[in-house]
């Protein structure tokens, strides 16, 4: 009887895709000040980015969706990560024709399950009235909402 049960579990395990057995997502909210350079001056800019990681449709790659709300608009961007490096890439967060952020991001693991997001790119601090992108860098502490 036990032999049949074990055989059934093994057969079922071979028939069901392996994605069903893994933790398939990570959601982080990363917030803090970014440093923006504008005409020789550096100033702080409050920024919050939602990072959502899920398994891509091919079953092996990861899909990253980054989102931010600014001036009552939702800006989003996504990419498929085929590399072995987790939590990094180059992305553009857009809403219709407006760009809010374009550049690189990288998750840096801190202690245990905590992360920080490093940004190095350009931010549009007024996407409603213009499309001027200013150089920006940030290290945003993240809160893990995946529990």
Residues in the chain: 147
Instruction: Record the tokens describing residue 44, joined without a space.
Output: 């702080």
Under 8 Å between Cβ of 118 and 110: no
Under 8 Å between Cβ of 30 and 110: no
- Domains defined along the chain, listed by start: 23-144 (2.40.128)
Q: Answer whether residue 17 shows pLDDT above 80.
A: no
Going by the DSSP 8-state scheme, the letter that residue 99 receives in this structure is E
Instruction: Record the tokens describing residue 124, joined without a space.
Output: 């549009």
Q: Answer whether residue 47 shows pLDDT above 70.
A: yes
Average pLDDT, the chain: 84
Q: How much is the pTM?
A: 0.80
* Nearest one of 127, 125, 143, 119 to 95, comparing CA atoms: 127
């Amino acid at each position: 009887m036990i032999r049949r049960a074990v055989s059934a579990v093994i057969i079922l395990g071979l028939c069901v895709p392996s994605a069903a057995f893994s933790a398939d997502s990570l959601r982080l909210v990363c917030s803090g000040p970014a440093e923006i350079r504008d005409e020789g001056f550096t100033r702080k800019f409050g920024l919050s980015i939602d990072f959502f990681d899920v398994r891509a449709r091919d079953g092996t790659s990861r899909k990253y969706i980054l989102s931010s709300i600014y001036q009552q608009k939702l800006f989003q961007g996504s990419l498929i990560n085929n590399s072995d490096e987790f939590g990094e890439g180059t992305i553009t967060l857009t809403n219709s024709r407006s760009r809010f952020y374009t550049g690189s991001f990288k998750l840096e693991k801190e202690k245990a399950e905590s992360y920080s997001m490093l940004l190095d790119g350009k931010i549009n601090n007024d996407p409603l009235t213009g499309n001027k992108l200013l150089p920006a860098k940030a290290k945003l502490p993240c809160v893990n909402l995946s529990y």
